[in-house]
Amino acid sequence: MGTPLDATERELTLGVPEEEPETADTGASDQVVIEDIIDKIILVIDELSGHPLRPYQLPLARRILESLIIEDSAKITALWSRQSGKSETVADTVAGAAIMLPRLAKVFPTLLGKFREGLWVGVFAPTDEMSETLFSRIVGRLTSERAQDILADPEIDEKLVARGKVLHLKRCGSLIRKQTAHPKAMIEGQTYHLVVIDEAQAADDKVLNKSITPMMASTAGTLCLTGTPTYTKSGFYEQIQKNKRESTRKGRKSDHFQVDWKEVSKSVPRYKKFVQSEMDRLGEDSDEFKLSYRLIWLLDKGMLCTSDRFDSLGDVSMRAVQEWHRSPVVVGIDPARKTDSTIVTVCWVNWDYPDEYGNYEHRVLNWLDLQGLDWETQYYRIVEFLSHYNVFAIGIDAGGLGDVVASRLRVLMPYAQMLDLKSDRTNQTKRWAHMMDLMSKGLVIWPAHAKTRSTKTWRRFRQQMEDAELTYQGPHIIVAAPEVDAAHDDYVDSLANALFLTAEMTMPEAEMQNSPW
């Protein structure tokens, strides 16, 4: 088969080949044709920008184009250092594809038929102002003098219409629209072949999953997430991890593109000079330098418990303990509010061997997760569950519903000490600080046996522990679930309540015994 767009130097850059038989884009030579199409679009991209894409920019541009052509509905992630040309790469790719794909659709109707009426692109960011950064680059690329010369060429013959938040290539039908991914914005109703979300680390996951990604359902569209690291997990972070895992599988394409300052410096000496000066000013190990240039996620500073920390505190030889009477245990209860669950956490305490600071080793024995039950039923379920343990003390969030629960359990369980834990920020800070101190010293352990890990209760516990976000407001520590649907922190609160009892109460008298673990 002949190579398309091979007539002249100018035709290689701008022109559209004579239409070939439809069989040209089918069969065993598909990949050769796809690579050839991408090569020609890259030539147009370079012509639009006035300079070739840099070596580290080219793989991302080619992968976006490939995904659009083969309709694999890829979720592409780009984690690049600040001012490395990330937005420029995406803007150039979108501009070149918007011009060329509809024209090539006439030559390759089977392969590119869905672009006959144009390429439709949605440009999103967490706020309208943030989306302007990428959108303005696309506008600048298509309205430059070079672009105007290309669009006016008889073989392209295109007219650009710009109206507010929409760029429209009138003759081929391509459309590029700027939109916000803010949670309060009403953005449903559009259809796109390509969606780009800039500064994706700050994007709302609910908006992304509920409102934006369905816009590509009818087109088998491509999603491109670009951004930099931060202190907390997000859909962007999770997609990066998924792409990294998938890329290790045989025959899978890489959908994650990571470019740190060292990679950029190979192609841009001025960038290297500036970043090295910033390294001297900020320090290579400063948070600012790690986030902006080294691309290190600082989850240990923005999350209560990272995945690595969670795994390190799990005992793979220990199962959930259904009954324990040999020594006193402590219990934390987080009463349900609205859509939350009531969670009861039981912890064994190594009372006989405190560390030099008076802290005890704690092991989570078991959890009780109560959902969708009225409180009268919950009271008796809690009492029945705790009857299998030698309960020394129970900690419950005071205030509101917690007061009622504590009063009722005092009547039903007179043998156990009931401690009302205040919910103001000062007292909550004490609880979180104590819990974080115990975790940092390895004095909190939970069951991680394979059979326990297979239970829904354990999986919910892990999810909530890893989702919990850590923030500091003045002298106060705040730990809470992210503000997205289906995110909860009931297990986290319940565990914190149980652990705090050993900081507030005196050690009970206990018989000497060997640890069962």
- The predicted-structure confidence for 75-103, as pLDDT tens digits, reads as follows 999 999 999 999 999 999 999 999 999 99
Are 76 and 222 within 8 A, CB to CB? yes
Residues 322, 181, single domain; the answer is no
What does the pLDDT average to over 254-268? 94
Residue 2 lies in a domain: no
Residues 178, 244, single domain; the answer is yes
Residues 315, 237, single domain; the answer is no
Beta strands 389-397 and 324-334, pairing class: parallel
Q: Where a domain ends, among 259, 286, 320?
A: 259
Q: Please, which pLDDT band fits residue 463 given cuts at 50, 70 and 90?
A: confident
Beta strands 362-370 and 342-349, pairing class: antiparallel
Are 449 and 317 within 8 A, CB to CB? yes
State how far the Cα of 116 lies from the Cα of 510, in Å rounded to an integer.
Answer: 79
State how far the Cα of 207 lies from the Cα of 190, in Å rounded to an integer.
Answer: 14
Closest by CA position to 99, among listed 54, 148, 26, 66:
148
Residue 245 lies in a domain: yes
Counted domains in the chain = 2
Phi, psi of 482 (to 5 degrees): -60, 155
What does the pLDDT average to over 347-371? 92
Kindly tell me if the per-residue pLDDT of 14 is higher than 60. Answer: no
Kindly tell me if the per-residue pLDDT of 374 is higher than 50. Answer: yes
Residue type, 25: D
Residue 431 lies in a domain: yes
H-type helices in 424-489, by residue range? 425-440, 450-453, 456-467
pLDDT at position 3 is: 32
Weakest mean pLDDT among 162-166, 186-190, 229-233, 289-293: 186-190
Q: First vs last Cα of the chain: how many Å apart?
A: 70
Kindly tell me if the per-residue pLDDT of 245 is higher than 90. Answer: no
Residues 252, 313, single domain; the answer is no
H-type helices in 120-253, by residue range? 128-143, 145-152, 205-206, 235-247
Residue 52 lies in a domain: no
Residues 241, 330, single domain; the answer is no
pLDDT at position 424 is: 87
Q: Please, which pLDDT band fits residue 484 given cuts at 50, 70 and 90?
A: low
pLDDT at position 17 is: 47
Weakest mean pLDDT among 87-91, 133-137, 175-179, 250-254: 250-254
Residues 251, 126, single domain; the answer is yes
- Would you call 4 helix, strand, or coil by DSSP? coil
Burial class (CB in 10 A: 0-12, 13-18, 19+), 449: middle
State how far the Cα of 362 lies from the Cα of 11, in Å rounded to an integer.
Answer: 73
Kindly tell me if the per-residue pLDDT of 338 is higher than 70. Answer: no
Q: Please, which pLDDT band fits residue 373 given cuts at 50, 70 and 90?
A: confident
What does the pLDDT average to over 424-434? 91
354-366 CB burial, b ≥16 within 10 A, e <16? eeeeebbbbbbbb
Beta strands 75-80 and 222-227, pairing class: parallel
Residue type, 403: D
H, E, C per residue of 122-153: EEEECCHHHHHHHHHHHHHHHHCHHHHHHHHC
What does the pLDDT average to over 147-152? 89
Residues 217, 316, single domain; the answer is no
Residue 280 lies in a domain: no
pLDDT at position 31 is: 86
Weakest mean pLDDT among 84-88, 136-140, 406-410: 406-410
Q: Which H or E run includes 314? A: strand 314-315
Q: Please, which pLDDT band fits residue 508 given cuts at 50, 70 and 90?
A: low
**Strongest mean pLDDT among 10-24, 252-266, 461-475:** 252-266
- The angle that helices 128-143 and 145-152 make with each other, rounded to 10 degrees, is 60
What does the pLDDT average to over 31-46? 93
Residue 290 lies in a domain: no
Are 341 and 490 within 8 A, CB to CB? yes
Residues 6+ apart with CB under 8 A from 286: none
- Would you call 157 helix, strand, or coil by DSSP? coil
State how far the Cα of 385 lies from the Cα of 390, in Å rounded to an integer.
Answer: 11
Residue 118 lies in a domain: yes
State how far the Cα of 407 lies from the Cα of 251, in Å rounded to an integer.
Answer: 61
Q: Please, which pLDDT band fits residue 18 given cuts at 50, 70 and 90?
A: very low
Residue type, 189: G
| Domain harbouring 119, CATH code | 3.40.50.300
H-type helices in 374-441, by residue range? 375-386, 401-412, 425-440
- What is the extent of the structural domain holding 406? 307-504
Length of the chain: 517
Closest by CA position to 25, among listed 111, 115, 106:
111
- State what percent of residues in the chain have pLDDT above 70: 90
CA 205: distance to chain centroid? 8
Residues 329, 403, single domain; the answer is yes
Kindly tell me if the per-residue pLDDT of 108 is higher than 50. Answer: yes
What does the pLDDT average to over 475-492? 82
CA 461: distance to chain centroid? 19
* Eight-state DSSP code of residue 414: T
- Average pLDDT score, the chain: 87
More confident residue, 60 or 397: 60
Residues 245, 323, single domain; the answer is no
Token representation of residue 231: 């202190």
Residues 363, 228, single domain; the answer is no
Weakest mean pLDDT among 122-131, 238-247, 264-273, 346-355: 238-247
Kindly tell me if the per-residue pLDDT of 217 is higher than 90. Answer: yes
Q: Please, which pLDDT band fits residue 507 given cuts at 50, 70 and 90?
A: low
pLDDT at position 429 is: 93
Residues 455, 325, single domain; the answer is yes
Residue 265 lies in a domain: no
Q: Where a domain ends, among 259, 285, 316?
A: 259
State how far the Cα of 89 lies from the Cα of 58, in Å rounded to an integer.
Answer: 8
The model carries a pTM of 0.67
Q: Where a domain ends, among 259, 294, 320?
A: 259
H, E, C per residue of 320-384: CCCCEEEEEEEEEEECCCCCCCEEEEEEEECCCCCCCCCCCCEEEEEEEEECCCCHHHHHHHHHH
Closest by CA position to 64, among listed 193, 198, 234, 217:
193
User: What Cα–Cα distance (Å) separates residue 44 from each residue in 47, 64, 321, 373, 407?
Assistant: 5, 15, 65, 63, 74
More confident residue, 185 or 57: 57
Residues 80, 224, single domain; the answer is yes
Token representation of residue 272: 């290297």
| Domain harbouring 447, CATH code | 3.30.420.240
